[in-house]
């Protein structure tokens, strides 16, 4: 994520975790990607294409790894959205997708 995120967020991450080269182990053990193979529940990914906090490439990586593991995962990417959705039609669409997902997997 460090390589894809906004420079100010990169600086913040470094302040929390240290230098990515010298403190590589810290990055590996704290990264959610390290635990992705343990996912048991189906996952719905709703992602803004222009998210500066969680870049789209990271969401795509999660989706790809879960699919390779044979896990249930569905993703939808929203153009011209960032971290959270501001366009009313995308807010409504994401809520509908979430409700449909819950109906499918929580009944």
Encode pLDDT of 10-26 as tens digits.
Answer: 777 777 777 777 777 87
> Closest Cα to residue 60, out of 71, 45, 79, 81?
45
pLDDT reported for residue 22:
77
pLDDT reported for residue 17:
72
Query: Do 96 and 45 sit in the same domain of this protein?
Result: yes
pLDDT reported for residue 26:
77
Q: How confident is the model at residue 43 (pLDDT cuts 50, 70, 90)?
A: very high
Query: Do 70 and 101 sit in the same domain of this protein?
Result: yes
Total domains in the fold of the chain: 2
Range of the domain at 97: 39-105
CB-CB contact of 43 with 104 (8 Å): no
pLDDT reported for residue 5:
65
- 66 burial via Cβ count (<10 Å: 0-12, 13-18, 19+): buried
Mean pLDDT of 78-107: 95
Q: How confident is the model at residue 87 (pLDDT cuts 50, 70, 90)?
A: very high
| pTM of the predicted structure, to 2 decimals | 0.77
Query: Do 47 and 16 sit in the same domain of this protein?
Result: no
């Amino acid at each position: 994520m460090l390589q894809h995120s906004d420079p100010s967020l990169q600086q913040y991450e470094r302040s929390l975790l240290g230098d990515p080269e010298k403190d590589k182990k810290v990055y590996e053990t704290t990264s959610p990607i390290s635990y992705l193979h343990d996912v048991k529940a189906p996952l719905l990914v709703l992602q803004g294409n222009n998210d500066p906090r969680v870049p789209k490439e990271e969401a795509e990586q999660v989706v790809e790894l879960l699919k390779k593991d044979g896990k249930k995962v569905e993703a939808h990417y929203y153009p011209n959205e960032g971290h959270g959705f501001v366009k009313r039609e995308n807010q409504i669409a994401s809520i509908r997708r979430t409700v449909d997902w819950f109906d499918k997997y929580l009944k």
